[in-house]
Structure 1
Amino acid sequence: MASISLHCVVIGCILLHLAGASPLSDAYPPLWKDCPGQLSDYKVENGKYIINFWHYLERQGAYKILLNETAKYFEKLAPENEQNILWGLPVDHGWQYHTGRLADPTQRTDCGLKSGDHLCISVDSWWADVNFYLSAMPFLAAVDSGIIGIPSDNVTFLPPYKDQMSFCYNVSSCHSSFPEAMKKWNEFYQHLKSDSNSFDDLLKYLWAAHASSLEVVHKNFHNRLKYYSKQEAHFERNWALFVDYLAPPLFPSTLIRTHNFLKGLPTRVLLSGDRVPFISDFTAFQKSVLLALNLLHKVHVYTGTLSFIVWENLMKFKVARKLFLEILEFILHVFD
C-alpha cells in the first residue's frame, strides 16, 4: 500500500495543474492554423498523396486531418472537438517543436533551429523519432481502417536522409515492419466507429495502441541519447517511463487537459549546467515535475519494475481508476 500511495503522490504532483481552464485557442499546438487540414493540401504524385513527415507543418497536418475526420465520434461529448482523445498526440508534438526538441541535437545542421530552418524535423532528434511512431502509425492505421476515406495505398511519406530502415512509409510497409502496433491502432479505430463503446473503452484501446508504438521505439533509438546533455537524456528516459505509468489509469488525453498538463514540462532542452530544482528560468511547477519524474524513476529501478506491475494491476479495476482521478482532482483544486 505504501508503494501505491507513493505513486499516487508522484503522479498527482506531476498533474497538479490539469484542472485549470484554458481557452481552446490557447490550447492548440503552435502554427496549428497554418497546418494542412485536408489531403488535397499535400502534393500528389502518381495518384498518391506525398507527406513530408520531416517538416513540422506537414506532420502536424496529418494529425489535423486525423482530428477532423474523427470529430464526429466525439461531437456529443463537447463542442469544437475538445473531447477528442487523439488531441494528446499533436499537442505533445507542438510542445516538442516549441521547446526546440525537434532540432538537430548534433548541431551539425540548422534543422529545427529558430535561427535556421525552424520547421525542419531532425532525424537525429530522439523526440522526433519517438513521435514518428506516434504520428505515422496512427495516421496510416486510420487510412487502413477507412477513417480518412481513401484507399490504403493512396498515401506515402518521404524518407529521412538517413536511417531509412528504422521507419515505415505507407500502410503496407508499416504492417510489415510493425504488425503489432498497426494491429492495435486498427483495433482502436474499429472500436471508435462502434457506437457501443464507452469513453473509458476508447481510452483503453487508445492507450494499448500508444504503448505498442512505444515498445518499438525504446530499443530503436537509444543511441540518440548520446547527442544530448546528461540532464536532457535523463529527462527523456524519465518521461518515457512516466508515459508508461500514465497508461494504466487511462489518462483522458483531451485538448485542454493535455495542454494544461504540458505546462509542467521544461520549456527548453536541458543543459549540462542545469541542476534540478535550481533552474532559474523554470517555474516552481516545472521544477516539481522534474523532481517527481526523478523520484518515479528511482522507485521504478529500486523495485525492479515491481512497482509498475502493482500499479498496472491495481488500475485494472474501474473503482481504483475512478478513485485515483478523484484524488487528482482534489489535489488540483487544493494547489490551484
Structure 2
Amino acid sequence: MARFLPVRKASAIVLLAALLTCFSDVNRQEKAGESVSYPPLWDNVPDSLDGFVIRNKTVINPWNYLDRMGMYKMLLNVTAKYMNHFGPSNTGNVLWGLPLQHGWQFKTGRLADPSDMSSCGQQTGDSLCISTTSWWSCMNYYLATIPFLGAVEAGFFDEWPFEIEILPPEDHKDDFCYNTADCHILIPDTMAKWTTFFQFLKKTKEFSQNKLSPTIPAEEDNVWQYMWTAHVSSIKAALQKFSERLTYISTPEAQFGISWGNAVDFIAATHFPTNFNQTNIFQVYLPQRMLLATDKAPSILDLSKEENWALVALDILYEGNKMTAGRLLNFWKRSMCSEKGREEGRHLLENAVSNPDLILPGIQKIILEFIKNHNCVPTDA
C-alpha cells in the first residue's frame, strides 16, 4: 500500500485535472449566458398515463422516442411534490438527467439503427423509432423502463385503474424485461435499487413537512445517494448485457460510450446534482454527432474545442482507471465517502474555473483527506 500511494496520487492529480479542465469551460458558458433547453419534442410527449390509454388498456411502447420520453415525463410529474424544496418549478428534480440525456441521444442520432439494416431512427424512415441494435438505446432502456417500473412497484401509480403494458421490441426480446416480476428475474439487483430509491423518495415529503427550513441538506444528499446508486447499477448491468452492440458503431464512438460509462462512476461518487440546470450546462460538452472512424480528438474539426477536450479527458480517465485495475475509482470513491469530501468533489466539478490555480491544490487536499480518513466508509454510489 505504501509503495502504491505515490503513484496513485500522481495519477489522480493528472487524470482528474484533465477532466476538471473540461468541466471548467462549461461554467464559462453558463456565466456567458448559455441557454438551457428541454429535450426535443418535449411538448409532444405525454405527461400522464391518460396519454397511453387504448381501449381501457395502458400501452407504452419504449421503442418509440415519444413513449420512452413519456415515462420520464411521468416520473418527473409524480415525484415533483417530493422534491419541491430542491428547486423552483420542479427544476431541482433529481431525475432530470435521464430525459435530458435521452433527448441528447435522440438529437445526435444515437438511438437510430447503426447497422444500416433498417431505417429505424433515420430521417428517411421512422425518425421516432428506437433501434434494438443501437448500443445507446439499449443502455438507455435500463435507465428508462427499469426506473419507471421501480416507481410502479413503489406505488406511485397505484390509483391508476388500468393495467400498464410495456411492449417488447420485434427482436432481441430476451435482452429486456417488461414488468416488475420479470425485471426482478432478469436484473434483480438493479430493479431492487430503483424500487428502493422511489420508496425512499416518498419519505422526503414527511421530512420537508416536519422541518422549518425549506432546504434539508442531509436528506437531500440521501436522495441523491439512492438515485446514483440505482443509476450506476443500471449502467453496470447494461454494460455487461450489451457489449456486442458496440461492434455496430465506430471505434471512436464505442470508446466514447465506454469512457462515458466509466466517468459516471466518478461523478456519481460526489452525489452530483443532475437537476435541470446542471445537466443542461454539462451536456453541451458531449459530442453533438456520432463519432466517425476517422475522428481523433482533440483534432475533430467540426466539433467544438470543448467537445474535443471532453473526449480526451474521458479517455484519459478511463485509461487511468484501467491501468490501475480500478484502483483509481476505488480511491476516488473513498475520498468521496464523507459529506466534506463530496462537497469538495462537487466544488471542484462546479467551480474550478473560477480560480484555475486552485485545481491541483484542491485535488491534493482531497487526496490528503482520504489518506488521513481511514474510518470513512464509501457509499454505494
TM-score of the pair, normalised by structure 2: 0.83
Deviation at 1:7, TM superposition (A): 4.3
Q: Would you say 1:80 and 2:113 are equivalent positions?
A: no
SS of equivalent to 1:118: coil
Identity %: 37
| Root mean square deviation of aligned Cα | 2.0
Q: The residue matched to 2:54 in structure 1 has which SS?
A: strand
Please give the per-residue CA displacement for 1:191-250, whole angstroms capped at 9, x wherever unaligned: 111134611110100011111112211111111011011111111111111112211111
**Cα offset for 1:48?**
3.6
Residue 131 in structure 1 maps to residue 140 in structure 2: yes
Tell me which residue corresponds to 1:110: 119
Deviation at 1:81, TM superposition (A): 0.5
Contact 1:185/1:206 (CA < 8 Å) preserved in 2? yes
Conserved 8 A contact 2:63-2:130 = yes
> 2:190: which partner in 1?
181
Aligned to 1:5: 13
Other structure's SS at 2:24 match: coil
For 2:272, the equivalent position in structure 1 comes to 251
2:36·2:281 contact (CA, 8 Å) conserved in 1?
Answer: no
Instruction: Give the 5 Å matches for 1:42-61.
Output: 42-44=52-54, 47-61=56-70
Deviates more, 1:202-211 or 1:237-246: 237-246
Match of 1:217 in 2: 238
- Structure 1 residues 41-94: Cα deviation after superposition (integer angstroms, max 9, x where no partner): 01335x541100000000001100100111111212322100001000000000
CA distance in structure 2 between the aligned counterparts of 1:206 and 1:51, rounded to whole angstroms: 23
Match among 245, 255, 259 for residue 234 of structure 1? 255
Shift of 1:15: 2.3
Distance across 1 between alignment mates of 2:32 and 2:78: 24
For the 8 Å contact 1:153–1:170, the answer to whether it is kept is: no
Which shifted more, 10-19 or 163-172? 10-19
- Is the 2:285–2:307 contact (alpha carbons within 8 Å) kept by the matching residues of 1? yes
| 3-state SS in 2 of match to 1:27 | coil
Runs of 5+ consecutive residues of structure 1 not aligned to the other structure: none
How far did 1:149 drift? 3.5
* 2:307 aligned residue: 286
Correspondence for 2:110: 101
In structure 1, what is the equivalent of residue 361 of structure 2? Answer: none
Match of 2:165, SS state, is strand
- Other-structure match for 1:32: 42
Q: How many pairs were matched up? A: 334
Tell me, in whole angstroms, the C-alpha distance in 2 between the residues paired with 1:63 and 1:242.
Answer: 23
Q: Secondary structure at the match of 1:253?
A: coil
Segments of structure 2 that go 5 or more residues without pairing to the other structure are 1-8, 208-217, 357-381
Paired residues of 1:102 and 1:127 also in contact (CA < 8 A): yes
2:349 to 304, 328, 333: 328
Deviation, 1:260, is 1.1
| Aligned counterpart, 2:367 | none
Residue 174 (structure 1) shift:
1.3
Given the superposition, is the C-alpha separation of residues 24 and 327 from structure 1 closer, same or farther in structure 2, using an over 3 Å criterion? closer
Q: Does 1:264 align with 2:273?
A: no
Q: Identify the residue that residue 377 of structure 2 maps to in structure 1.
A: none
Instruction: Describe the SS at the equivalent of 2:95.
Output: helix
Instruction: Tell me which residue corresponds to 2:76.
Output: 67
Give the C-alpha shift of residue 97 in structure 1. 0.2
Contact 1:144 1:152 in 2 (8 A): no
Question: Which residue of structure 1 aligns with residue 294 of structure 2?
Answer: 273
Please give the secondary structure, in 2, of the residue aligned with 1:247.
helix
Question: Are the aligned partners of 1:249 and 1:315 in contact in 2 as well (CA < 8 Å)?
Answer: yes
**Structure 1: how far apart are the matches of 2:314 and 2:68?**
28
* Whole-angstrom distance in 1 between the partners of 2:161 and 2:341: 40
| Structure 1: distance between partners of 2:14 and 2:58 | 49
Deviation readout 1:272-307 (Å, 9 max, x if unpaired):
111111111111110110010111122112111111
CA gap of 1:3–1:140, structure 2 versus 1, over 3 A, is same
Larger Rg: 2
* Aligned 8 A contact 2:150 2:191 in 1: yes
TM-score (norm 1): 0.94
Residues in 1 aligned to 2:333 and 2:161: alpha-carbon distance in whole angstroms: 35
Structure 1 contact 56–119 (Cα < 8 Å) conserved: yes
Assess, with a 3 A threshold, how the Cα gap between structure 1 residues 132 and 150 changes in structure 2: closer, same or farther.
farther
- The alpha carbon displacement at 1:166 in A equals 0.7
Q: Secondary structure at the match of 1:15?
A: helix
Secondary structure at 1:156 match in 2: strand
Distance across 2 between alignment mates of 1:36 and 1:18? 31
Alpha carbons of structure 1 residues 311 and 295: separation in structure 2 relative to 1, 3 Å? same
* In 2: Cα distance, 1:153 partner to 1:213 partner: 28
Measure the CA separation in 1 of the matches of 2:162 and 2:194: 17
SS at match of 1:161: coil
